[in-house]
C-alpha cells in the first residue's frame, strides 16, 4: 500500500503528534511501534527499516534535506524542521504547507500567525517569554534586532520569520507589561524594513499591541493601523481569527462599536461568527451602558446556539446587573463559571439586609434536595408526548434505515427480524448496550474479563424482578456466560444478537423509543453522531431525552464490607439543571470544569440563603 519506501513528509506527519515540548528524538524502534499500533486495526505493518532515513534516499524530498545536511541514522523530529520545511502541526491536527505558513526567511511573506502560535511547542513559547523579559529588562536590544536571531538557532538552523512570530506573541500578551509597547513598536518597524509593507497579520498584531500594551493614549495609533489594514482587505474579506483579535482589541477602546462593523464583515463573508467574536462586544456594551444592544446580541447568540464567554457574565456582575444576569441565566439556561458564581454570592452578601450567605454545594440526584439547605428543586422536564412521538418516528426511521440506505448499519432481513422480536416481547424497561458495557470495565482487556463485567452488571440490574431488560449484543457474544442469564431464573433478561458487522447503537435507540418514554438505556455512548443527523431542534430533544433516560456504567469496584464487586452506575439527575428560586433561597448551577458526556450537565451548585 505504501510501496517500499516511506516519505519523510509522512514520517514527520506521523511523528509530530508525539511532540509535546522541546526537541524530541524518536528512534526507529519507538516510531515503528507507534505506527504499527496505530494501524493494527487495518492490518498494516511497517517494518523498522522503513523508518531509517538511509532507506529513503530515492525520495526527492529527502534529497532536498540531504543537501542541507540533515540526514541522520535516527529519526529526528525538530520543531525547526516542522516550521521551515514541511508543515506546521496545529493543535487541531491540521497540517499547513510551509509555503503558506512561514516565509522563506523573508518576513514580508504572508503568514497565518494565529494558527502558527497555536502550533508552537512549549519550548518555543518559553523562549518567546524569555526573549520578552530580556527586551523589557534591556531596551538596548531593540537597537539591533538581528542579534536576537542567535536565540532562535538550533544547531545550524534558524527559525525563519521569527520576527513575525515574536511580534504576534507580544500582541497576544493581554496583561500590561511596562516597556513592552515600545519594544513591540520597534520590532514592527524592524519587520517593515525587511519587506515592502506590513501584511494583514502584522497590522492586526500592531493594533493589539497598541491597545493592550499602549494604554488609552496610544489608541489613536491603533486606529491609524486599522485604516492601513482596511486598505489591504481584498473585497472586504477578513478571516475570523483576525476579526476576533480586532474585536477584542477595539472592545477595550472608546471606539468599541467598530467591532459591530467587523462582526458584520465576517457574516457577509459567509463565516460563522462564534462566541469569541460576539462576547467582547456584549461586554463592552454592558460596560458603556448600552444594555439594549447587549440584550439584542445575547438573544441573537442564543438563537445561533452560542453561549457567551464568562467575560460577559463578569461584566454584568461588575456593573451591578446581578438580577439581570440571573434572569438571563434562567431564561437561556446558561451556566456560569465557579468564579462568576462566587461573585454572585458575594454580591448578595454585600447588598442584602437579611444576612445572606452562600455555599458551593450539590444536589441529590434522586431526591432533588439541596445538600446545604434541603430545598427541593424542580424536576427534570420531560419532552411532551407530541415531541416524543416526533423524535421517535424520526429516529426509528433514521437510526436503522439511514435515509433509505439500510446497508450502512444493518441488512433488511435483520431489521425485519428485530421488528418481529419487539412485536413479540413488547416494551422493555431497560435496554442495555452489551458490548459497550463489557468494554467499559477497568479490567476488560480479555474476552473473559469483558464477559465477567457484563455478567456483574446484568445481575445487578436484574435484581429488580419487575424490570424487563433487553440486552443487545453481537453474534460472537452468544457463547458468553452473560448470554446464559436468559435462563428461567432470569426471565426478565432478554437478548438480541446482531450481526458482527452491524452497528448496535441504532438497534438500542430503536428498541428504547419503541418501548415508550419511560424506558432507559444503559450505555456510555454519547450518541453524538445520531444527534448530528437529526438537525438542531430534534438534536436538542434527543439530548433532553438522554439526560433523563440514559444510565452510564462507570465500572466495577470491590466492596470489602460485602465481599463482592459493586456496580458503579451514573443515574440520570431527577432535577432540572437551571437557575431555580425557592422561598428565601437561590440555586445556580455552575461549571466545575469536570469532563462529562456531551449530554450531561454540571452537578455543582451555588446555594444562596437569606435573600
Among candidates 492, 507, 510, 504, which has minimal Cα distance to 429? 492
Q: How much of the chain is helix, strand and coil, in % rounded to 5?
A: 55, 15, 35
Which set of grid coordinates corresponds to residue 449?
474479563
Query: Above 80 in pLDDT, residue 69?
Result: no
Residue with the bigger pLDDT between 502 and 92: it is 502
Cβ atoms of 322 and 342 within 8 Å: the answer is no
CA atoms of 568 and 565, how far apart (whole Å): 10
CA atoms of 586 and 582, how far apart (whole Å): 6
Among candidates 311, 241, 296, which has minimal Cα distance to 274? 241
Which set of grid coordinates corresponds to residue 537?
431542534
Predicted local confidence at residue 41, as pLDDT: 38
Residue with the bigger pLDDT between 411 and 13: it is 411
pLDDT category of residue 325 using cuts at 50, 70 and 90? very high
Query: Above 70 in pLDDT, residue 165?
Result: yes
Cβ atoms of 238 and 262 within 8 Å: the answer is yes
Predicted local confidence at residue 59, as pLDDT: 38
pLDDT category of residue 489 using cuts at 50, 70 and 90? low
Predicted local confidence at residue 104, as pLDDT: 32
Alpha helices in 194-237 (DSSP H): 200-212, 219-232
The residue behind cell 431488560 is: 469
216 to 213, 256, 581: CA distances (angstroms): 9, 13, 42
pLDDT category of residue 27 using cuts at 50, 70 and 90? very low
Predicted local confidence at residue 501, as pLDDT: 85
* 3-state secondary structure (DSSP) of residue 385: helix
Residue with the bigger pLDDT between 404 and 9: it is 404
Work out the mean pLDDT of the chain and round it to a whole number: 76
* 3-state secondary structure (DSSP) of residue 600: coil
| Architecture of the CATH domain 385-570 | 3-Layer(aba) Sandwich (3.40)
Residue with the bigger pLDDT between 89 and 186: it is 186
Secondary structure of 302-336 in the HEC alphabet? HHCCCCCCHHHHHHHHHCCCHHHHHHHHHHHCCCC
CA atoms of 34 and 39, how far apart (whole Å): 9
pLDDT digits (tens, 9 = 90+) for 106-143: 333 333 334 444 555 677 778 888 888 888 888 888 88
Radius of gyration of the chain (CA): 30
Query: Above 50 in pLDDT, residue 158?
Result: yes
Predicted local confidence at residue 23, as pLDDT: 30
Highest mean pLDDT among 17-31, 45-59, 119-133, 165-179: 165-179
Average pLDDT estimate for 252-257 = 91
Predicted local confidence at residue 335, as pLDDT: 93
The residues spanned by each domain of the chain are 8-77, 336-380+576-611, 385-570
Query: Above 60 in pLDDT, residue 43?
Result: no
Cβ atoms of 505 and 530 within 8 Å: the answer is yes
Predicted local confidence at residue 443, as pLDDT: 58
Cβ atoms of 605 and 588 within 8 Å: the answer is yes
Number of H helices, E strands in the chain: 25, 16
> What backbone torsions phi and psi does residue 167 show, to the nearest 5 degrees?
-60, -40
pLDDT category of residue 496 using cuts at 50, 70 and 90? very high
Residue with the bigger pLDDT between 44 and 471: it is 471
pLDDT digits (tens, 9 = 90+) for 166-199: 888 888 887 888 888 998 899 888 888 877 677 8
Query: Above 60 in pLDDT, residue 36?
Result: no
Predicted local confidence at residue 402, as pLDDT: 63
Cβ atoms of 577 and 589 within 8 Å: the answer is yes
CA atoms of 402 and 394, how far apart (whole Å): 10
CA atoms of 344 and 348, how far apart (whole Å): 7
CA atoms of 33 and 583, how far apart (whole Å): 63
Percent of the chain with pLDDT over 90: 30
Predicted local confidence at residue 318, as pLDDT: 93
* 3-state secondary structure (DSSP) of residue 160: coil
Which set of grid coordinates corresponds to residue 523?
450505555
Predicted local confidence at residue 116, as pLDDT: 44
pLDDT digits (tens, 9 = 90+) for 419-434: 999 999 889 999 999 9
Cβ atoms of 414 and 502 within 8 Å: the answer is yes
Question: Cα 159–164–166 angle (5° rounding)?
Answer: 80
DSSP 353: S
For the purposes of burial, counting CB atoms within 10 Å of the CB of 217, is it exposed (0-12), middle (13-18) or buried (19 or more)? exposed
Cβ atoms of 361 and 352 within 8 Å: the answer is no
Query: Above 50 in pLDDT, residue 28?
Result: no
Residue with the bigger pLDDT between 106 and 303: it is 303
pLDDT category of residue 400 using cuts at 50, 70 and 90? low
Average pLDDT estimate for 210-222 = 89
Q: Is the pTM of this model over 0.85?
A: no
Query: Above 70 in pLDDT, residue 226?
Result: yes
CA 381 to chain CA mean position, Å: 27
Predicted local confidence at residue 512, as pLDDT: 93
Residue with the bigger pLDDT between 273 and 446: it is 446
Query: Above 80 in pLDDT, residue 578?
Result: yes
pLDDT category of residue 405 using cuts at 50, 70 and 90? low
Least reliable range by pLDDT among 257-266, 322-331, 458-467, 487-496: 487-496
Residue with the bigger pLDDT between 268 and 4: it is 268
Residues linked to residue 473 through DSSP beta bridges, in sequence order: 497
Highest mean pLDDT among 71-75, 270-274, 504-508: 504-508
Count of C-beta atoms within a 10 Å radius of residue 546 = 22
pLDDT category of residue 88 using cuts at 50, 70 and 90? very low
Among candidates 384, 383, 432, 377, which has minimal Cα distance to 574? 377
Predicted local confidence at residue 154, as pLDDT: 67
Average pLDDT estimate for 153-159 = 66
Amino acid at each position: 500500500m505504501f510501496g517500499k519506501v516511506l516519505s519523510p513528509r509522512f514520517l514527520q506527519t506521523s511523528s509530530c503528534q508525539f511532540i509535546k515540548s522541546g526537541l524530541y528524538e524518536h528512534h526507529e524502534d519507538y516510531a515503528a511501534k507507534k505506527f504499527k499500533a496505530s494501524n493494527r486495526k487495518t492490518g498494516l505493518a511497517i517494518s523498522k527499516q522503513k523508518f531509517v532515513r538511509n532507506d529513503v534516499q530515492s525520495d526527492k524530498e529527502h534529497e532536498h534535506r540531504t543537501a542541507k545536511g540533515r540526514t541522520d541514522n535516527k529519526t529526528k523530529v525538530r520543531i525547526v524542521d516542522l516550521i521551515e520545511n514541511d508543515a506546521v502541526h496545529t493543535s487541531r491536527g491540521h497540517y499547513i504547507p510551509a509555503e503558506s505558513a512561514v516565509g522563506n526567511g523573508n518576513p514580508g511573506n504572508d503568514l497565518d500567525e494565529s494558527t502558527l502560535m497555536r502550533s508552537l511547542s512549549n519550548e518555543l513559547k518559553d523562549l518567546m517569554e524569555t526573549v520578552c523579559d530580556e527586551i523589557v529588562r534591556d531596551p538596548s536590544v531593540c537597537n539591533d534586532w538581528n542579534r536576537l536571531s542567535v536565540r532562535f538557532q538550533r544547531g545550524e538552523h534558524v527559525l525563519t520569520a521569527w520576527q513575525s512570530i515574536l511580534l504576534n506573541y507580544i500582541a497576544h500578551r493581554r496583561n500590561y507589561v511596562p516597556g513592552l509597547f515600545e519594544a513591540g513598536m520597534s520590532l514592527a518597524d524592524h519587520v517593515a524594513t525587511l519587506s515592502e509593507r506590513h501584511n494583514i497579520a502584522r497590522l492586526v498584531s500592531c493594533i493589539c499591541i497598541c491597545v493592550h500594551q499602549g494604554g488609552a493614549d496610544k489608541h489613536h495609533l491603533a486606529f491609524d493601523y486599522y485604516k492601513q489594514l482596511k486598505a489591504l482587505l481584498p473585497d472586504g474579506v477578513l478571516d475570523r481569527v483576525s476579526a476576533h483579535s480586532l474585536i477584542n482589541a477595539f472592545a477595550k477602546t472608546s471606539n468599541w462599536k467598530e467591532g459591530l462593523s467587523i462582526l458584520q464583515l465576517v457574516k457577509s463573508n459567509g463565516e460563522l461568527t462564534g462566541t469569541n467574536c460576539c462576547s467582547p462586544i456584549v461586554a463592552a456594551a454592558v460596560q458603556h451602558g448600552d444594555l439594549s444592544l447587549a440584550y439584542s446580541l445575547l438573544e441573537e447568540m442564543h438563537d445561533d446556539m452560542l453561549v457567551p464567554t464568562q467575560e460577559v457574565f463578569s461584566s454584568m456582575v461588575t456593573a451591578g446587573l446581578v438580577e439581570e444576569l440571573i434572569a438571563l441565566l434562567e431564561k437561556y439556561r446558561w451556566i456560569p463559571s465557579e468564579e462568576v458564581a462566587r461573585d454572585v454570592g458575594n454580591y448578595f452578601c454585600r447588598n442584602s439586609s437579611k444576612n445572606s450567605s452562600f455555599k458551593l454545594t450539590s444536589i441529590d440526584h434522586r431526591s432533588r434536595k439541596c445538600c446545604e439547605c434541603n430545598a427541593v428543586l424542580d424536576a427534570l422536564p420531560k419532552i411532551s408526548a407530541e415531541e416524543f412521538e416526533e423524535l421517535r418516528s424520526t429516529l426509528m426511521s433514521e437510526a436503522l434505515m439511514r435515509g433509505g440506505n439500510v446497508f450502512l448499519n444493518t441488512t433488511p432481513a435483520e431489521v425485519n427480524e428485530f421488528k418481529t422480536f419487539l412485536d413479540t416481547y413488547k416494551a422493555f424497561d431497560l435496554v442495555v448496550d452489551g458490548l459497550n458495557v463489557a468494554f467499559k470495565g477497568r479490567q476488560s482487556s480479555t474476552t473473559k474479563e469483558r464477559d465477567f463485567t457484563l455478567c456483574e452488571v446484568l445481575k445487578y440490574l436484574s435484581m429488580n424482578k419487575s424490570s424487563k431488560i433487553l440486552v443487545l449484543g453481537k453474534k460472537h457474544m452468544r457463547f458468553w456466560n452473560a448470554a446464559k442469564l436468559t435462563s428461567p431464573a432470569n426471565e426478565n433478561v432478554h437478548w438480541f444478537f446482531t450481526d458482527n458487522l452491524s452497528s448496535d447503537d441504532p438497534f438500542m435507540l430503536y428498541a428504547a423509543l419503541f418501548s415508550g418514554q419511560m424506558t432507559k438505556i444503559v450505555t456510555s455512548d454519547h450518541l453524538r453522531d445520531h444527534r448530528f443527523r437529526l438537525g438542531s431542534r430534534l438534536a436538542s430533544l434527543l439530548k433532553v431525552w438522554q439526560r433523563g433516560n440514559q444510565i452510564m456504567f462507570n465500572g466495577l469496584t470491590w466492596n470489602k464490607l460485602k465481599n463482592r464487586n459493586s456496580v458503579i452506575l451514573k443515574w440520570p439527575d431527577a432535577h432540572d439543571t437551571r437557575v431555580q428560586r425557592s422561598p428565601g433561597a437561590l440555586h445556580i448551577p455552575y461549571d466545575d470544569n469536570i469532563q462529562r458526556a456531551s449530554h450531561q450537565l454540571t452537578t455543582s451548585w451555588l446555594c444562596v440563603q437569606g435573600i
